Structures are given as structure tokens and as C-alpha cells.
Amino acid sequence: MTNNPASPTALQAPNNDVSWLRDAFAKVQTNLMDQMDFASQSISHAGTMGSVNEEHWLSLFRSYLPNRYDVASGIAIDSLGSRSDQIDLVVFDRHFTPTLLDQKSHRYIPAEAIYAIFECKPTISKGYIEYAQNKAASVRRMHRTSVSISHAGGVYSPKQPFQILAGLLAPRADWVDGLGKSFSQCIGSEVVSRLDCGCALEHGSFDFFEGELKVVKEQAALMHFLFRLLSRLQSQGTVPAIDWAAYSRIVPA
């Protein structure tokens, strides 16, 4: 005597319970908040605490970004000799474009290799927004080369460099209403300096990826922020092919 096979209806029934996944994503956010709260309570030196929290953000990005992206702190440079200030978190291409003059955690990153930059601060506030906007503008104004690429079927034309993404990351926002009206009045809209996205763990995330300010205040805002960032990075494609001949002119013959 054989067992009756499972009914087709039972086999095809979809599992629409996403609550476990939502809870897991919320836990990632809670864990990161706990780590940063512990740092603020146990580390008295502001600079050291800032470095520790920066490492927490770097670790998170490395965990969720695909291997085609590298993440580190560093200084952006271009072939004209321009240098940025130290940037807390840089998302860049390491496959086609090596970093230069690396010394431990210190590195120079060619502007052509950069997809996005982020500042990691104690809060999202008016002052830190302006600070991050100035960093964004300074990197976006850098000279970026682009050359053609030969392939089996011919030659790809030089790619037009995309605008480098910029953002701000913090445990919380500085206003009573979190990422509300006061925040929206500070964020600005000038293209060269605008922050494209950001996250305040306690209060939510924001971005301009669809042309206007979008703020998410739900519990899993961190993962919402990461998934939307991944989507935007994906839409950028690959960085332009760097013109190493332009950099060679810096070195005396």
C-alpha cells in the first residue's frame, strides 16, 4: 500500500509570512545601535569613540555590499594633484582601480574609482549636514578621467562619469521630531553638495533617489536604507576606465 502523494494545492501554496525576515532586519539595526551606545558609555575620548563607531559602519557596509565594491576610509585624489580631507567611509572599485600609497588603514583613492562617500558622525544635525555637504562638493568637483576600453568586438567609448553619491550616518538625529520638518529644512537641494542619502539609527533613513526627499521612520529603516543604496549603486554600473597616462604625468620622467 502506497502513501497518497501531497496534493498539488499544498505543494504550490506560497509562504507569504515575511515577519521573520522583517524581525531579523530589525535585529541588525538594534544590534548596531547597542554597539554604538556601548561605545558612547564606555569610551570617554570623543575621537576614539568616533573611530570605533566608524569601524562599526565600515563592518556593516562590508557585510552587505557585493564583492565588486570595497569599503574603507581614505583620501580622494585626482590626476591634477587635488586631495580631499579624510573621508570616513568610501565605497570604491578595487577590481579595476587600485588604491595608492597604502599605509595600514591610510590610503589614497583615485576619484575615478569612487562610487559613494559617507561621513559617520555622532548625530545628524545642521552642523554635521553642512560638514558632509562640503566634503561631498569637494570630491564631486575633482577631475575624473575616462578612456576607451578595447574588447573582442571593438572598442567601448569613454564612459561619462556619474555623480558620486554622498551621505551621512549617525546613531540618531539631533531634532525632537527626528528626521522631520526641521531636518528637511536643513538638508538642502544644491546638486553639487546635496546629500543623497543617510541613516540615523534611532530615527530612520532618508534619500533623494527618486528625485524628492523620502524619509522612512519604521523599525527596519537601516535595511531599507541599505537595500535602496544597493539598488542605486547597481544602477550606476561600473566606474569609468581610469586614464593612467594622466597620472603618469605626475611622476618625473
- CA end-to-end distance (rounded Å), the chain: 87
Among residues 139, 136, 132, 133, the alpha carbon closest in space to that of 76 is found at 139
List the catalytic residue out of 54, 70, 78, 88. 88
Under DSSP, is residue 200 helix (H, G, I), strand (E, B) or coil? strand
State the DSSP H helix or E strand holding residue 110, giving kind and residue range, or none if neither.
Answer: strand 106-110
Residue 119 among the catalytic residues: yes
Annotated catalytic, 130? no
CA torsion sign for 221, 114, 166, 87 is: positive
Q: Which phi and psi angles does 214 have, rounded to 5°?
A: -120, 125
Given a contact cutoff of 8 angstroms between Cβ atoms, the answer to whether 142 and 78 are in contact is: yes
Active site residue 85: no
Q: Out of 54, 78, 121, 202, which one is annotated catalytic?
A: 121
Among 119, 174, 196, 202, the active-site one is 119
How far is residue 207's CA from residue 196's CA, in Å, rounded to a whole number?
A: 5
Supply the residues annotated as catalytic: 88, 119, 121
